[in-house]
Structure 1
Amino acid sequence: MSKYELAYINENINTFFFFLSECFTGTPMALKVMPKASTKLQGFLREYCISLHLSCHPCIVGLFGIAFQSNEHYGFAQELVIGRDLFAVIQPKVGIPENAVKRCVLQIASALEFIHEHGLVHRDIKPENILLLDSHCCRVKLADFGLAQTRGTLIRFISGTLPYMAPELCAVALEEGQKEVTAPPLSVEPSLDTWAFGVVIFCILTGYFPWERCVTSDDFYQEFADWCQAPTVEEVPPLWKRFTPAAMEMFSRLLELNANNRSTVGEVRSYVEKDWLMPTLVDTNGLQPENGKVSATCSTPSVCRSSPVHQEVE
């Protein structure tokens, strides 16, 4: 590493990022470093190879062919993205402007389609893993392939971030006090990313999570599930009344409870020319307009940074 200059950037859970510059060419890079104590070699190599394989897409963080290990760490060099992640620009309980959301959604949909076409599934789609190259979401890039797997892989470990995890994945994750899994075996499929993508769209439009976890004990999720399963057209749940009928149709496709019937991420393109938010703020769940913004008096969870969970399937 003597021909490189290093400077600390930031860190996430069990991952450190450094600014890396090649001394002769001055090429700027970001060095992603993972402690060996919490990273298996197989997992590191999988993330590196998948990231390198997909990095040619313009909406995915690029990689350089530089990987290394020291006595205590693994690491690889990736494209330096100067900017914040998408989560950093979400105003809690407000969200970000609809036009910016749509710009972001189109780019991430393109990245996910590319990933799925290569037989892979990201498995951790969330605002923290979407990096901004500008403050208006004109250019964004999908990052962090640490949980990515090949399509069809039998799930042995539950990995992901709870609010974004699909109901079929939550069904095989043990809840507090639960002794054994009763759901059938589950394989890695693009529909897991589609569900998370739908949740991300909700979060960045509103500044709220739609629910904390897709289980029947979560009232917000159960309200949505009941609406989806109603035999006749019913009034949308209170938390969703801010959305237009077109947006609700889009959400019903992305957040289809039956994974086999869930849409592909690319279907969002047919909705981007339509309005997603109602023209006026309507309070239906303890949300009151204040000076043109929405404040919350209900227990709806506002967005917050969430760490992935890891749980072995018995």
Structure 2
Amino acid sequence: MAAAARKGSSGSFHRVSSFELPKIQLEDEFSDIKFLAEGWYSKVLLARHTTSDSTVVLKCVHKETTKRKDFFREYHYNYYLSPHPNVLNSFEVAFDTPNYYVFTQEYASQGDLAHLLPKGGLGETKTKRVAEQLAFALEFVHTKDLVHRDVRLENVLVFDNELSRVKLGDFGLTQRVGALVKKVNVRVPWAPPEVCQAVYNEGYHCETSMDAWQLGILIFVCLTGSYPWYSADITDRHYNAWVSWHKRKTTKLPNRFKCFTPRLLRLMRRLLDPKPEKRAGVREVYKYVMDPWLVKGIDPMDLFFDESSSEIFMAATSKPHECAEKTRLREILSSYGIQTTVDKTETTRRICEWLLNSVTSPHRGM
């Protein structure tokens, strides 16, 4: 199997080159192939390379949904960012199959953070470990004039149970700072307000502040096990409550933030600033890792009951028993703003209304 030729150090970091990909059948080069995950544009397989007898991950990018140049951009950036200790290592091997463009990566033995997040969150100590390592990785990405754009649980790969070694992966959406991209397939709970407010299928510019926002959301999710809101849009009352408090229009702290200490709230103010130009960079995390983050005696899970209904806010991660297609469908519906949760108060009201009408209306056929 041929390997991609590595550029010399004098080459431009952003000069993404393409080359002739060797055409192979997976079964000819790999054995013990197992399915790990699938997303909108790719699927991930675990396999053993027959010649070297090493276990690797195969990132298989769908040809139907991905342009060849976009595949090379992801492979290029992932490969040249790999030397960082908190960036998933990409190997110097890429090839072509009838349906996929493929490149190889290292295997994270503990999987991704989405599957390890327990109900109620990771706790303070482990969350701090994750936050500090991701801030370190993103800071490196930003020094290369790049924006990751997809910081979320599924893209944090874990190598030990204590989360002392995690790595940022999936550079499929990575773009240069200032690049104009279209708004498509947005993962709503993770998206910053400037993306949520953009018109679907129209352009917006990539900025490092987007990664800072997603890092703030990830810290919140790791501490509580839930999202702070469904969408960073003023039509979402939970987000609207945050904006009102953030702008000091009210002194009432949003209920879902009441388990956070004043120091963590200060960090959240900086990372989750609705105005991207005022948002702090990812380095801000370093200032707060030695401070307490959670208020003692308050269980984060107790804060996620809606005051007007018995709805529990949408879980932060897909449950292990949910199939990939169901998860993918839910994400697509959410990206179009279609509600995927049920307001039980409204359901109860309709049932009562139906029962009342059934009792007061004349019975047919009598």
Give TM-score, length-normalised by structure 2: 0.74
Query: Which whole-Å CA distance do the structure 1 matches of 2:76 and 2:301 have between them?
Result: 47
Cα-to-partner distance string for 1:142-164 (whole Å, 9 max, x where unaligned): 11111111111013334541101
How many residue pairs are counted as aligned between the two chains?
294
Query: Which whole-Å CA distance do the structure 1 matches of 2:248 and 2:59 have between them?
Result: 47
**1:256 pairs with 2:299:** no
Task: Give SS of 2:204's match.
Answer: coil
Specify whether residues 282 and 106 from structure 1 end up closer, same or farther in structure 2 by C-alpha distance, changes over 3 A only.
closer
Cα-to-partner distance string for 1:94-149 (whole Å, 9 max, x where unaligned): 11121000011111111100111101111111011101111221110111111111
Task: Give SS of 1:112's match.
Answer: helix
Query: Which whole-Å CA distance do the structure 1 matches of 2:239 and 2:302 have between them?
Result: 14
Cross-structure match for 2:353: none
Cα-to-partner distance string for 1:291-311 (whole Å, 9 max, x where unaligned): xxxxx9554333133656678
The one-letter amino acid of 1:244's match is: T
Specify whether residues 156 and 35 from structure 1 end up closer, same or farther in structure 2 by C-alpha distance, changes over 3 A only.
closer
Which of 235, 240, 257 is the aligned partner of 1:240?
Answer: 257
Cross-structure match for 1:200: 218
Which of 32, 44, 49 is the aligned partner of 1:17?
Answer: 44
Specify whether residues 304 and 282 from structure 1 end up closer, same or farther in structure 2 by C-alpha distance, changes over 3 A only.
closer
**1:82 pairs with 2:99:** no
Cross-structure match for 2:129: 103
Cross-structure match for 2:317: 304
Query: How far is 1:71 from its partner?
Result: 2.3
Query: How far is 1:207 from its partner?
Result: 0.8
- Name the structure, 1 or 2, with higher relative contact order (CA <8 Å, separation 6+): 1
The one-letter amino acid of 1:110's match is: F
Q: Do the aligned residues in 2 keep the contact of 1:124 with 1:160 (CA within 8 Å)?
A: no
The one-letter amino acid of 2:205's match is: S
**1:98-177 maps to which residues of 2 (within 5 A)?**
98-174=124-200
The one-letter amino acid of 1:63's match is: S
Cross-structure match for 1:221: 239
Q: Do the aligned residues in 1 keep the contact of 2:110 with 2:157 (CA within 8 Å)?
A: yes
**1:286-301 maps to which residues of 2 (within 5 A)?**
297-301=310-314
Q: Do the aligned residues in 1 keep the contact of 2:36 with 2:46 (CA within 8 Å)?
A: no
The one-letter amino acid of 1:172's match is: A
Query: Which whole-Å CA distance do the structure 1 matches of 2:208 and 2:195 have between them?
Result: 12
Query: How far is 1:250 from its partner?
Result: 0.4
Q: Do the aligned residues in 1 keep the contact of 2:224 with 2:301 (CA within 8 Å)?
A: no
Q: Do the aligned residues in 2 keep the contact of 1:83 with 1:134 (CA within 8 Å)?
A: yes
Structure 1 or 2, whichever has the larger Rg, is 2
Specify whether residues 217 and 36 from structure 1 end up closer, same or farther in structure 2 by C-alpha distance, changes over 3 A only.
same
Task: Give SS of 2:64's match.
Answer: helix
Identity %: 30
Aligned-pair Cα RMSD in Å: 2.4
The one-letter amino acid of 1:202's match is: F
